[in-house]
């Protein structure tokens, strides 16, 4: 064969095609195989807008982007090395992200006049034919024809045969990256257990794709991407929403409580419900309420009854829950509120990512109503941080808001999953007896300022709680002015006091006293990490700290910030964390924002850092 | 009901909180009857939970020495649904007003009925917003002058019992603050029902809507205007029990018992939803004001309770897949090792 | 209806926005029928407003070249109530799904019906949440496996028409996406009704709940399972119109027309609420699955519309006190001068 | 007669008694008469907690505090000069607020054993008898007896006769302050038009009270409080909620629109509904919705139809409206949201005042969702600021939040009401024709970045709007990343741009470059003004600026602030405005908070200023 092999550090591939083309499955298979091979991976599926559009149109394009390589992959990649397109619309949507000189694998059958028209190419224009793709390596393959011919004796109808198209592409890409087919073969055999004919067809086409690479003269280069030096251990792939679901179940198990998840479907949070509802054998109860208000109220009711009450939604649904969250904080019952943020305001961009609910999380309730707020920074970190949210809620008898976002919720990465035994237990003790002489005082506090959790069913602890201001210690209704002030301050102090029970803030990369500190939070972690790696490699004095505890902040945050000359706060919103930091510390932190429903690209961040360094070059030099 | 469970009396249900309803408010009587009935139900006091929304009536839990939550406006039903989902062992009583349940809380109310959680809903209907000082509610009569309708309310009032039936309630009954005996009977029936039981209680707000139910509660007019229904019994009412109701096709008519035998009367059947629908609509037709207003259990149906279905499903799934193992869950289906 | 008003055709109602429902979705047919019927109603196009919530169905307004608002989940009814309050001259159409109207929007829905604003509510019932990709809705059948009920839904489904009647709806009808002719008739009736008119439309979601209404829509099963009711006509259905329904007391029974005269059949009376309640409940009893599912106008009642009452009251008060004078208002009743 | 007359600058009286004692009416009458006399007045009724308690108990006490004098009265007074109590409970509740040496007028009949017991005085203790009131001037009057004897021939039953008790007290206080009975006589004659017997009885008792003062030996001193030098003109008394209602009607009239008020009852906002519902002859439509969500949505619908859509509530209800407010800002329709703040969080202290919804107003929505925020500073200022809210909503096609609070909502003051003609017209122009060739572009903006308001019914302007992100200019759904960023920035710029259309910030009192600037907002105006007056009189370098525009701020705010050495921000919350100021200007503004459901007292503020001056005395000296 006349092909060479080239070694690459990392590769970004986008599989794109119509919603019906099996793109997500293809992407997932390539991910699994590549993970098994030992590469690190970061993936991001890109669904079409909410309603499926007619086949072949731009609105109907489904994409799956993945980035794999021989080092830690922090993001699904900014620019594409390889773009696999099943039809013209898929090319149209994604071409702008392809690197100069990148590879296009195009299914020519998807570029027939009908598809070109659906993709709204001008009459007579075929991008494969008109020279517009100059500067890219284009592999044109009539996937449909190859698939059909591979299956000509299979006895399958045309429609059913055509459904295996994606296997041809997968096989071809496996060949291109020197991958082994075993994992996918196993998967196919498992998935179609009951249809041996389908198994056979898919395997045939998969091999045909692989062999096409091997035998076709067209392709000159194969690539080798060596395994990444990942910490030793057992791995699996995990998506953010899945990790959130597992984190909740784990927290319930480690606290010895039953998990109650009250929710109302909403993109991009619904998958947490779908995931949790499978695990009834963990005693998990999922409750699809009539609306978000009912969902959070049911979670409060469950918590009153001694369960781990959790509610989940996205921005518009969280807005509806605010009144009830206020009740929960007055009742001082544990409650975890999961907010998988999406593009806003209002219905906004439901399938896109954004970080614009931070101020709502911290400030968005009537009255003085502090709750704890934490955020996950990567898909797998959803597991850790939602577990933390549960721990804080239970230890401090308080609502805790857990922020995720559409990007990490749907993104995936390899996860060195923990053993159940290695997870810290969350100690929960229900009140068993009277706590002040012969009386039970529902608002007598412990050293964390948490009140006792007395659940119905225990004789002698009968008590009433409610949303009207409560008298200190007794919990009775009180309109007393001084008591109100005391209670407001106590609730605030309880949340502030959490700072003593969370880890100190660390610097992720860079020096302790860099010229520029990038302070990020939540789902932008990967992009910031990449950018800072590159900037450090360029010899610049930058550092990166990433917040996962947002209210309260880690105790050392101020001193950590003050050691750096300039603070830049990149956020996928119009500047929210930056407001809190400036208010709290009177530090002239600057804001870098992107409000496009998209994650940061490395270049977005690097350019901002260059700009700061340039602007302040004098100050920095004379230092 | 074993006696060792009856470890409390009505007195034990009184809390140390001063009762703060207006003097003369119908809520007092309801509180009293609930405190009287509860010890007779074979419950442990610590297993009883009162959950309310916001309103005069919703202060109720503070006066019951049981577990209780005074929540937010309209949401008691939603909170109780969550509580029941995880604690089917508790006896949960929801206290709500006509505004709390039918106005802001209308959605949770009908959904709870549909799902059929096993709870007792005491709907204190005073046809007014008491706590906020006298605005019209979804049960206020059209044309009534209130704080927010100085020229008369335009709204068409809900028929609460009809709404409940429309929402597939499995138990619907009505009583009134001024008839302690009947109220106690109805409270017991409400408790006994397995499923979501709604007991609408006509309650006089003597400050903002005094006398709204006078014709049903005052001695002089009561007998002629009320109809107490009992399962298996004919529909009879009137000053001297001299009138009855017959069903002509689907139309109820008042008859004089001098001319009609009680055998021909409509015999109340709690299990007949179609008849229940006619019964609760009897007084809706303003052109026929001879029909009395019914009280009693209108409808009662056996249907699985939601919390039991939840438990069953958890058990089924557990039987099928075995009790969940956290390590297996964390591993997932496809793992690989980096060595 | 004068012809100069009919200044638009179905084509004029098509917008420049690409219709983005899944191929095969029942929404297409409904859109088509609405676009066909509207020009025949004697309306000016600029007086027509479509207001929707959120859901696949709620994208509808984008495809209608009229005024329109695609609002937030469950609130179209509330928004339309405000619009109608100030603009009784407009023809307001509410587009909503089973989740939008009966789940999150349940409260506004029943309150709009109670108040009886003069609007047309097209309830696209596909017994599923389409837009969020396949969770069960309040009309999903118990036991159904969906994205959010992998082991079967536990919820007892609402009977939407019964709920409407319980909430005092003044017009309740049902049709289906697959019967264009009937759908167009029902759309007209819905429009003609003065008051809140609910038209439930069975709509196939071929992606997440394909075939939910197959027995009613497919040629082979339709005739045996559907009953098209018409005011003043006997209830007849069956393969060869060979079956009828009689009402025994308050219980409907299927009879064979070979043995029973059509004179003895239940004659549909749109104005009879008690019968309407029985009609819409016909298929609720799982033990009697011989009863067909009714379509058509179940109930229609004349009752004042809320917005008209509002206007009347404004007029009455204005007649009584004279048109408001801002200076007099600002002065109030008790002024004094500082000199 | 052996009494002297003493001239006083100002007097604070509290009338207190049982809910049934006619206290509010008594207070209102005294207020009216005193206003007519030419004093300035500030009043504050103090209702019992929500549910009426049994007669005679502490929980059932109703109070009416009023402060009148010969200068501008900014607050209802901190401490009482005179406390009128109809029963023992009323004394118990209010005694702590009485000045040393102050006067108590006590109805002895309300101190019988039954009343003493209800008020929970220990067995056998009567505060009138046990010397505990030493240091106060106590006038014990058996009001009941006097009333009954005045009416012995009236033919009225005892119950009915006793109802006039309050008139006796009123007559007596009129005598004490040399007031004329005419106004009250007129009022009584009007009120009981249909019951001549009641008129006669009330007048008899009123005169009896007056004559009792004249003839009784007990009272040694009469007081004279000279008229205040108020600007010339016509005055009336006005309460905040009433002013809000009038402001809304005025804005509707001056914009030529119909007012639609969608609401759900809630304390302390309900009175706006009650007030507005009376004025149907202005074409006002009040709509009592099923809940707060329906209320705001109906207002949005009305606004879509071309009316002035307004919704009103208090904290918990506002929380419920947040999702819909997000819709309104996406639709860019005018909408005014009235928030009469009360004590929070959750149900909190419903009848008490607080300013703790500012952060919710500014930040409490999902996504980037800016709305304009204004606040009233006094009862009559509610008229001006809600009018402004309407103006901004209509001129900028945006939701505007108007903040009032329980204190100013229920408080009253004299109001030099404007003439209708003197109110500025609010120009509103509905779109009449296509605005881009043969197309109508619903999101084509004017110089204020406002889009056209095209209401249904106009042929040719048919268009669709919604909560999904909209394409610039066309308003079509758009998922385009750059468009989203542009629209987010445009919506933010529109709100920020309002700064050019509002008055510059002024200093209320004090120098432009004081040592300490008190920066207040909303209902604390009176207290701050008093305190600063006194501090200035003491020769201290303080100043006071009071914000009524909170988002955006007046353009000159930063420069104004920077001229002062220390900025102190007093708020009835746990520090909210201070957060925004610190973030925006990086000024080390300090916070003075009070969270007791009560207004500031002059001393609260003065002490805080002393403390700052003391702490920084060095800095201030060496300057
Ligand atoms: C979210 C919210 N909206 C409004 C209120 C104000 N509110 C309290 S009780 C009530 C209505 C009370 O009427 P009902 O439920 O009939 O009870 P009742 O007082 O008559 O017993 C209202 C409107 C509130 N507390 N919270
Ligand atoms: C406040 C809020 N909650 C949840 C959602 C997510 N959501 C959008 S549409 C929908 C349900 C759609 O079902 P249905 O109303 O039956 O309409 P269909 O798509 O089936 O036509 C849900 C839950 C939302 N957009 N807003
Ligand atoms: S206001 Fe009415 S309902 Fe409320 S406590 Fe008083 S009498 Fe009872
Ligand atoms: S998901 Fe279902 S309802 Fe939605 S467009 Fe597709 S077929 Fe229609
Ligand atoms: Mg009520
Ligand atoms: Mg649906």
Q: pLDDT means per 10 residues in chain A (623 residues)?
A: 80 92 91 90 78 77 93 90 95 94 94 94 93 92 92 84 91 93 92 90 94 81 89 94 98 98 98 98 97 98 98 98 98 98 96 96 98 98 98 98 97 96 97 96 98 98 98 96 98 98 98 97 96 96 98 98 98 98 98 96 96 84 46
Q: Quick one: pLDDT at residue B1?
A: 38
- Do D461 and C46 make contact, defined as CB atoms within 8 angstroms? yes
Exposed / middle / buried, residue B176 (Cβ in 10 Å: 0-12, 13-18, 19+): buried
Mutation site, B103, B124, B138, B149, interface D, largest D CB count within 10 A = B103
DSSP 3-state of D361: helix
Q: Do B132 and D270 touch (CB under 8 A)?
A: yes
Mutate to test the pocket of ligand 1, among D51, D264, D339, D343 (most ligand atoms within 8 A of CB): D264
Query: Which residue from A59, A266, A286 is facing C132, i.e. has the nearest CB?
Result: A266
Query: Could you give the CA distance from residue A174 to residue A30 in angstroms, rounded to a whole number?
Result: 8
Regarding predicted confidence, which is higher, D556 or A227?
A: D556
pLDDT classification of D51: cutoffs 50, 70, 90: low
Is residue D76 a contact partner of residue D66, using CB atoms and an 8 Å limit?
A: yes
Task: Please say whether the beta carbons of B76 and B99 come within 8 A.
Answer: no
Say if residues A318 and A399 touch (Cβ distance below 8 Å).
no
Q: Comparing A74 with B318, which gets the higher pLDDT?
A: B318
How far, in Å, is the centroid of ligand 2 from the Cα of A586?
43
Nearest CA to ligand 2 atom 9: C55
Give the mean pLDDT of C207-218.
96
- Cα(D297) to centroid of ligand 2, in Å? 17
Instruction: Report the candidate in B242, B212, B211, B234 with the shortest Cα–Cα distance to residue B296.
Output: B234
Residues whose CB falls within 8 Å of the CB of residue B261, separated by 6 or more in sequence, listed in order: none
Q: Given a cut of 70, is residue C233 above it in pLDDT?
A: yes
Please report the pLDDT score of residue B2 as a whole number. 39
Which C-chain residues 79-118 have CB contacts (< 8 A) with chain A?
103-104, 106
Other beta carbons less than 10 A from residue B184's beta carbon: 17
Q: Which residue has the tokens 């007949």?
A: B272
CA of C25 to the centre of ligand 4 (A): 5
Average pLDDT on D266-276 reads: 98
Q: Report how far residue A132's alpha carbon sits from residue C129's, in angstroms, rounded to the nearest whole number.
A: 42
Residues 6+ apart with CB under 8 A from D407: D44, D353, D523, D599
Residue of A330 and B5 predicted with greater confidence: A330
D266–B contact, CB cutoff 8 A: yes
From the list B81, B85, B324, the residue facing A281 with the nearest CB is B324
Evaluate if residue B6 carries a pLDDT over 70: no
Q: Please tell me the predicted confidence (pLDDT) of residue D221.
A: 82
Alpha-carbon distances, residue B119 vs B50, B58, C4, D335 (angstroms): 10, 16, 60, 41
What is the token pair recorded at D82?
């005179």
Asked, as a colleague might, if the bond just before A59 is cis with ω within 30 of 0, I would say: no
Residue ranges of domains in chain C, CATH in brackets? 1-217+302-332 (3.40.50.970), 231-289 (no CATH)
Does residue D377 carry a pLDDT above 80? yes
CA distance D271 to D248: 13
Fold equal for D4-224 and D236-420: no
pLDDT in the model for residue D50: 54
Between chains, do D464 and C15 touch, taking CB under 8 Å as contact? yes
- Cβ of B81 within 8 Å of Cβ of A301? The answer is yes
- What percent of chain D has a predicted confidence (pLDDT) above 70? 98
Q: Where are the alpha helices (DSSP H) in chain C?
A: 27-37, 76-86, 98-99, 106-115, 160-166, 180-192, 214-217, 219-225, 273-280, 306-321, 326-331
Helix (H) / strand (E) containing A559: helix A557-562
Query: Which ligand is nearest the CA of A294, by number?
Result: 2
Task: Please compute, for residue D595, the number of CA atoms within 13 A of its CA located in the half-sphere on the CB side.
Answer: 26
Cα nearest neighbour of C303 on chain B: B156
Specify the pLDDT at position A21.
86
The three-state secondary structure class of A280 is helix
C-beta atoms surrounding C192 within 10 Å? 12
| Side-chain-side CA neighbours of residue D383 (13 Å) | 22
Secondary structure letter of residue D83 according to DSSP: E
Please state whether the peptide bond connecting residue D345 to the residue before it is cis, i.e. omega within 30 degrees of 0: yes
Enter the pTM of the model: 0.96
- Domain at A4-224, CATH homologous superfamily: Pyruvate-ferredoxin oxidoreductase, PFOR, domain III (3.40.920.10)
Hey, is the C-beta of D290 within 8 angstroms of any chain A C-beta? Answer: no
Ligand nearest to the CA of A51: 4
Contact status, residue B202 vs residue B213, Cβ threshold 8 Å: yes
Inform me whether the C-beta atom of residue B21 falls under 8 Å from chain D C-beta atoms: yes
Residue A579 sits at the chain D interface (C-beta within 8 Å): yes
Rounded to 5°, the CA angle C156-B79-B91 comes to 80
Q: Is A154 exposed, middle or buried (0-12, 13-18, 19+ CB in 10 A)?
A: middle
Say how far residue B318 (Cα) sits from the centre of its chain: 35
Sheet holding A372-375, edge to edge: A285-288, A259-263, A308-313, A335-341, A399-405, A372-375, A549-551
Beta strand extents in A47-119 (DSSP E only): 61-69, 80-85, 98-107
* Cross-chain Cβ contact A270/C72 below 8 Å: no
Give the list of residues 6+ apart from residue A194 with CB closer than 8 angstroms, or none.
Answer: none
Contact D350/A at CB under 8 A: yes
In terms of C-beta density within 10 A (0-12 exposed, 13-18 middle, 19 or more buried), how is residue B4 classed? exposed
Q: Whose CA is nearest to atom 5 of ligand 4?
A: C21
Are the Cβ atoms of D51 and B59 closer than 8 angstroms? yes
- The CA-CA-CA angle for residues C325, C330, C331, to 5°, reads 100
Q: Do B115 and C317 touch (CB under 8 A)?
A: no
Give CA separation, C199 vs A618, C58, C171, C231, in Å: 72, 15, 8, 16
Which residue among B207, B209, B210, B213 is best mutated to probe the pocket of ligand 3, counting the most ligand atoms within 8 A of its Cβ?
B207
- pLDDT band at residue D157 under the 50/70/90 scheme: confident
Contact flag A348-D467 (C-beta cutoff 8 Å):
yes
Domain boundaries along the sequence of chain D: 4-224, 236-420, 429-502, 509-622
Q: Which residues contact C56 (CB under 8 A, 6 or more apart)?
A: A50, A51, C21, C25, C27, C97, C124, C126, C130, C131, C205
Distance CA D527, CA D546 (A): 11
- D346 and A326: CB-CB below 8 Å? yes
d(CA B78, CA B53): 10
Q: Which is nearest to A260 in space by CA: A202, A338, A352?
A: A338
- Give pLDDT, residue C6: 58
DSSP D258: -
Contacts of residue A381, defined as CB under 8 A and 6 or more positions apart, other chains included, come to A243, A408, A525, A548
Ligand 4 pocket at CB < 6 A: A 51-52; C 21-22, 25, 27, 56, 126, 130, 205-208
* Between C284 and D138, residue with greater pLDDT: D138
Asked if residue D366 lies in contact with residue A357, where contact means CB atoms within 8 angstroms, the answer is: yes
d(CA B154, CA D287): 10
Largest CA distance in chain B: 97
- CATH 3.40.1160.10 for domain A509-622: no
Instruction: Label the pairing between strands A516-521 and B120-125.
Output: unpaired
Residue C46 near residue D460, CB atoms below 8 Å: yes
CA D145 → CA A597, D16, D25, D142, D161, distances in Å?
77, 19, 21, 5, 11
Residue C285 has pLDDT above 80, yes or no: no
**Amino acid A2: pLDDT:** 60
| Residue of B24, B25, B99, B203 with the most ligand 3 atoms within 8 Å of its CB, for mutation | B25
User: Which letter does DSSP use for residue A513 in this model?
Assistant: T
Q: Is the beta carbon of B160 within 6 A of some atom in ligand 1?
A: no
Task: Yes or no: say if B30 and B183 are a contact pair by the CB < 8 Å rule.
Answer: yes
Peptide bond into C13 cis (omega under 30): no
The contacts of residue B292 (CB under 8 Å, 6+ apart) are B224, B225, B226, B227, B237, B243, B245, B254, B282, B283
Q: Which region among A413-427, C233-247, D14-28, D278-292 has the lowest average model confidence (pLDDT)? A: D14-28
pLDDT surpassing 70 at residue C189: yes
Q: Which of D246, D222, D251 is nearest to D236 (CA)?
A: D246
Q: Shortest Cα distance from D417 to chain A (angstroms)?
A: 33
**For A46-195, where are the alpha helices, taking DSSP H only?**
88-94, 113-118, 143-150, 158-162, 165-176, 182-191
C84, C113 in Cβ contact below 8 A? no
Q: Verify whether the Cβ–Cβ distance C334 to D237 is below 8 Å.
A: yes
Q: Which residues of D touch C38 (CB under 8 A)?
A: none
Query: Residue A99 has which token pair?
Result: 């690197």
Segments in A381-480 forming alpha helices (H): 381-396, 406-410
Residues 213-252, chain B, touching C (beta carbon < 8 A): 247, 249-251
Chain B residues with CB inside 8 Å of D59's CB? 18, 20
Q: In the numeric block, which tokens belong to residue D580?
A: 């925004």
Binding-face residues of B in 160-219 toward C, CB within 8 A = 162-168
As given in the structure block, the two tokens for residue D595 are 């969270």
> Does the CB atom of residue D521 touch ligand 1 within 6 A?
no
Per-residue confidence (pLDDT) for residue D623, from 0 to 100: 40
* Chain C neighbors of D191, CB-CB under 8 A: none
Instruction: Take residue D246 and report the two structure tokens written for it.
Output: 């009038």
pLDDT at B3: 43
Task: Report helix, strand or coil for B276.
Answer: helix
Alpha carbon separation from A298 to A14, A279, B19, B145 (Å, rounded): 42, 19, 29, 37
Six token digits for residue A349? 């961009």
Pocket perturbation via mutation, ligand 2, pick of C21, C27, C31, C54 by most ligand atoms within 8 A of CB: C54
The DSSP bridge pattern shows strands A549-551 and A566-571 to be unpaired
pLDDT at C1 over 50: no
**What is residue C313's predicted lDDT score, i.e. its pLDDT?**
98
The reported pLDDT for the residue numbered D621 is 53
Cβ-contact D188, D205 below 8 angstroms: no
* CA dist., res. A474 & res. A452, Å (int): 12
**Statement: residue D217 has pLDDT above 80:** no
Q: C-chain residues within 8 Å CB-CB of D186?
A: none
* CATH (residue range A236-420): 3.40.50.970
The C-alpha of D396 sits at a distance from chain B's nearest C-alpha, in angstroms, of 31
């Amino acid at each position: 064969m006349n092909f060479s092999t080239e070694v690459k550090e990392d590769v970004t591939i986008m599989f794109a095609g119509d919603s019906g083309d099996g793109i997500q499955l293809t992407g997932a298979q390539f991910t699994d195989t590549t993970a098994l091979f030992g590469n690190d991976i970061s993936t991001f599926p890109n669904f079409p807008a909410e309603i499926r559009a007619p086949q072949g149109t731009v609105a109907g394009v489904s994409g799956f982007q993945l980035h794999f390589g021989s080092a830690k992959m922090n993001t699904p990649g900014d620019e594409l090395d390889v773009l696999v397109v099943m039809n013209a619309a898929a090319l149209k949507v994604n071409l702008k992200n392809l690197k100069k000189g990148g590879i296009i694998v195009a299914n020519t059958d998807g570029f027939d006049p009908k598809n070109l028209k659906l993709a709204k190419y001008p009459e007579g224009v075929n991008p494969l034919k008109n020279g517009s793709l100059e500067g890219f390596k284009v592999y044109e393959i009539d996937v449909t024809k190859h698939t059909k011919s591979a299956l000509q004796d299979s006895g399958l109808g045309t429609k059913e045969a055509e459904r295996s198209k994606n296997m041809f592409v997968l096989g071809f890409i496996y060949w291109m990256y020197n991958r082994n087919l075993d994992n996918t073969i196993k998967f196919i055999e498992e998935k179609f257990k009951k249809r041996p004919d389908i198994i056979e067809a898919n395997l045939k086409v998969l091999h045909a794709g692989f062999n096409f690479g091997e035998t076709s003269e067209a392709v000159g280069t194969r690539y080798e991407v060596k395994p990444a030096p990942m910490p030793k251990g057992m791995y699996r792939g995990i998506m953010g929403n899945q990790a959130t679901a597992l984190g909740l179940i784990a927290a319930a198990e480690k606290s010895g409580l039953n998990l109650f998840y009250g929710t109302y479907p909403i993109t991009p949070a619904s998958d947490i419900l779908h995931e949790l509802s499978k695990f009834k054998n963990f005693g998990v109860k999922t409750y699809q309420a009539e609306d978000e208000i009912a969902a959070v109220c049911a979670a409060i009711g469950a918590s009153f009854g001694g369960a781990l009450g959790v509610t989940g939604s996205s921005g518009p649904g969280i807005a509806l829950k605010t009144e009830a969250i206020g009740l929960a904080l007055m009742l001082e019952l544990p409650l975890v509120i999961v907010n998988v943020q999406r593009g806003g305001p209002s219905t906004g961009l439901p399938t896109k990512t954004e970080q614009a609910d931070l101020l709502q999380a911290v400030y968005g309730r009537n009255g003085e109503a502090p709750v704890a707020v934490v955020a996950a920074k990567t898909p797998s970190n959803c597991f850790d941080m939602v577990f933390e949210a549960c721990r804080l809620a239970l230890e401090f008898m308080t609502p805790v808001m857990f922020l995720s976002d559409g990007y990490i919720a749907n993104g995936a990465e390899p996860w060195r999953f923990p053993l159940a035994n290695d997870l810290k237990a969350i100690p929960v003790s229900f009140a068993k007896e009277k706590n002040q002489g012969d009386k039970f005082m529902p608002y007598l506090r412990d050293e964390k300022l948490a009140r006792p959790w007395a659940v119905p069913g225990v004789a002698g602890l009968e008590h009433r709680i409610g949303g009207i201001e409560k008298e200190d210690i007794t919990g009775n209704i009180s309109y007393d002015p001084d008591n109100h002030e005391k209670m407001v301050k106590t609730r605030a102090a309880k949340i502030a006091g959490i700072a003593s029970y969370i880890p100190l803030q660390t610097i992720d990369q860079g020096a302790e006293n860099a010229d520029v500190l990038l302070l990020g939070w939540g789902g932008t972690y990967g992009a910031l990490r990449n950018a800072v790696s590159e900037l450090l490699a360029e010899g610049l004095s930058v550092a990166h700290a990433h917040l996962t505890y947002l209210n309260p902040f880690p105790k050392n945050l101020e001193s950590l910030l003050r050691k750096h000359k300039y603070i830049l706060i990149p956020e996928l919103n119009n500047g929210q964390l930056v407001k809190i930091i400036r208010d709290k510390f009177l530090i002239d932190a600057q804001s870098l924002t992107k409000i496009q429903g998209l994650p940061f690209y490395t270049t977005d961040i690097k350019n901002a850092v260059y700009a700061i360094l340039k602007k302040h070059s004098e100050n920095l030099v004379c230092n | 009901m074993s006696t060792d469970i009856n470890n409390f009396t009505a007195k034990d249900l009184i809390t140390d909180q001063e009762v703060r309803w207006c003097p003369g408010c119908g809520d007092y009587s309801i509180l009293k009857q609930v405190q009287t009935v509860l010890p007779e139900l074979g419950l442990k006091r610590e297993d009883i939970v009162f959950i309310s929304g916001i309103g005069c009536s919703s202060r109720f839990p503070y006066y019951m020495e049981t577990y209780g939550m005074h929540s937010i406006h309209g949401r008691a039903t939603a909170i109780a649904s969550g509580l029941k989902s995880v604690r089917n062992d508790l006896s949960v009583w929801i206290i709500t007003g006509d505004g709390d349940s039918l106005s802001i809380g209308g959605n949770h109310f009908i959904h709870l009925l549909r799902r059929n959680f096993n709870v007792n809903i005491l709907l204190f209907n005073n046809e007014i917003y008491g706590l906020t000082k006298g605005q019209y509610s979804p049960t206020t009569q059209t044309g009534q002058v209130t704080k927010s309708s100085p020229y008369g309310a335009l709204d068409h009032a809900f028929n609460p019992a009809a709404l409940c039936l429309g929402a597939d309630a499995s138990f619907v009954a009505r009583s009134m603050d001024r008839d302690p005996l009947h109220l106690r009977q109805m409270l017991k029936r409400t408790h006994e029902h397995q499923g979501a039981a709604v007991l609408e209680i006509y309650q006089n707000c003597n400050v903002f809507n005094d006398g709204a139910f006078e014709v049903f509660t005052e001695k002089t007019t009561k007998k002629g205007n009320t109809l107490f229904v009992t399962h298996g019994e004919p529909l009879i009412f009137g000053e001297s029990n001299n009138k009855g109701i017959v069903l002509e096709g689907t139309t109820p008519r008042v008859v004089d018992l001098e001319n009609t035998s009680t055998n021909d009367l409509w015999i109340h059947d709690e299990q007949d939803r179609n008849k229940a629908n006619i019964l609760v609509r009897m007084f809706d037709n303003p052109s026929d004001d001879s029909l009395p207003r019914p009280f009693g259990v209108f409808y009662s149906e056996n249907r699985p309770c939601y919390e039991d279905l939840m438990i069953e499903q958890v058990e089924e799934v557990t039987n099928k897949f075995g009790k969940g193992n956290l390590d297996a869950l964390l591993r997932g289906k496809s793992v690989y090792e980096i060595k």
